[in-house]
Amino acid sequence: MMTKRGRAKLVEVGSGAHAYLQQGSWGFSNAGLISDGEATLLVDTLYDVALTEQMLRAMRGAVPATQRIGTVVNTHANGDHCWGNQVVADAEIISSRAAAAEMLELKPGLMRTLVSTSHALSKLPSPARAVLSLLGKLGVPKLGPLADAGEFVQDCFGAFNFGDIRLTVPTRTFEGKLTVHVGDKLVELIQVGPAHTKGDVIVWLPKERVVYTGDILFMGMHPIVWEGPIDNWIAACDRLLELDPEVVVPGHGPLTDKAGVRETKAYWEHLKELARDGRARGVTPDALAREWLRDARNPKWTEAHRLVVNLDTAYRDMAGDRSPRDPLQLFARMARIEQA
């Protein structure tokens, strides 16, 4: 149904700066390595222990100083950018204060339970899943969303091993901006969230003109806005453009430059206009997502099911609604779009 994992590669993107690029869909994120002499800074860990260890082996082959990681920066709280922290637990681990707090909201054990339950549900015959879905609609908590989302969740996350993850949280947090040094190399950590999540951070090397964006950029695929507001994401794109980078390392997808930033900004601006029109016409976010998919003028990026969450966020932004959402309900809605 969705793009699975492809090959991973380590690419030099500047003097003492590397990007680790994973091909694939949900959970196969990018990371970065900044080094100067014996000093090292790792930008993000990966979704599970095995993936993180594989990445570090590749980095050690290219940069011997990676035998010891001195500093880790988690760009945000999603597990595919921080659940490998235990592998580098001896390092100083830095994130925004908001990201560190958000890491405690969805723990690996809960994800393990969700995936295993989804796997069990996906093995049930269709009539049984239909009964569970009906019970959910009648008010039995979680049964409906689980029945609707089971195969989709398994397809998105079944490739990862959440069983041996120990949540390892940052040892240092900041708000706004923090400057750190990797040897003689200046690195600026700039908080641009809440946007994708509650505490998004970008990592900027001003001399090398390289920026690691975390999930402020998804290239070749629809982004997803878990937190918002969308205006903050647009402002984050403007901040990236102001930096005038030469190389942009996205959180997911291939390397890009300012053109990729502008493309992402245009996406959110267009989506906001679409949401304003749809809300005025009384169209639901889910129905509006289907309209988008039928319009040949829109980009044919992968993970189009994420439109449901993005349009739902846009509607909530317009209503001033900042109440929490149930992620399982959102996955059920994405699954229905994917299956349509």
Render pLDDT for 165-195 as a digit per residue (tens, 0 to 9). 999 999 999 999 999 999 999 999 999 999 9
For the stretch 185-243, pLDDT in tens is 999 999 999 999 999 999 999 999 999 999 999 999 999 999 999 999 999 999 999 99
Percentage of residues in the chain with pLDDT exceeding 90? 74
In angstroms, the CA 174 to CA 150 distance is: 37
Q: Is residue 78 part of a domain?
A: no
The total domain count for the chain is 2
Q: Is residue 46 part of a domain?
A: no
Q: Is residue 92 part of a domain?
A: no
Range of the domain at 122: 108-157
Q: Is residue 325 part of a domain?
A: yes
Percentage of residues in the chain with pLDDT exceeding 70? 89
**pTM (2 decimals)?**
0.92
Look-up: residue for tokens 């005025």? Answer: 280
For the segment 6-29, the average pLDDT, to the nearest whole number, is 94
β-bridge pairing 172-174 and 92-96: parallel
SS3 of residue 88 by DSSP = helix
Look-up: residue for tokens 């890009």? Answer: 256
Q: Is residue 208 part of a domain?
A: no
Residues in the chain, how many? 340
Q: Is residue 166 part of a domain?
A: no
Q: How far is CA 36 from CA 11, 18, 46, 75, in A?
A: 16, 12, 23, 21
For the stretch 19-76, pLDDT in tens is 999 998 899 999 999 999 999 999 999 999 999 999 999 999 999 999 999 999 999 9
Question: What local confidence, expressed as pLDDT, does residue 141 receive?
Answer: 42
* pLDDT higher than 60, residue 3: no
Question: What local confidence, expressed as pLDDT, does residue 131 receive?
Answer: 37
165: alpha, beta or left, given left = phi > 0 and alpha = psi -120 to 50?
beta
**Phi, psi for 251 (deg, rounded to 5):** -70, -30
Give the residue with greater pLDDT, 129 vs 97: 97
Q: Is residue 51 part of a domain?
A: no
Q: Is residue 260 part of a domain?
A: no
Q: How far is CA 121 from CA 116, 117, 138, 229, 319, in A?
A: 9, 6, 19, 34, 35
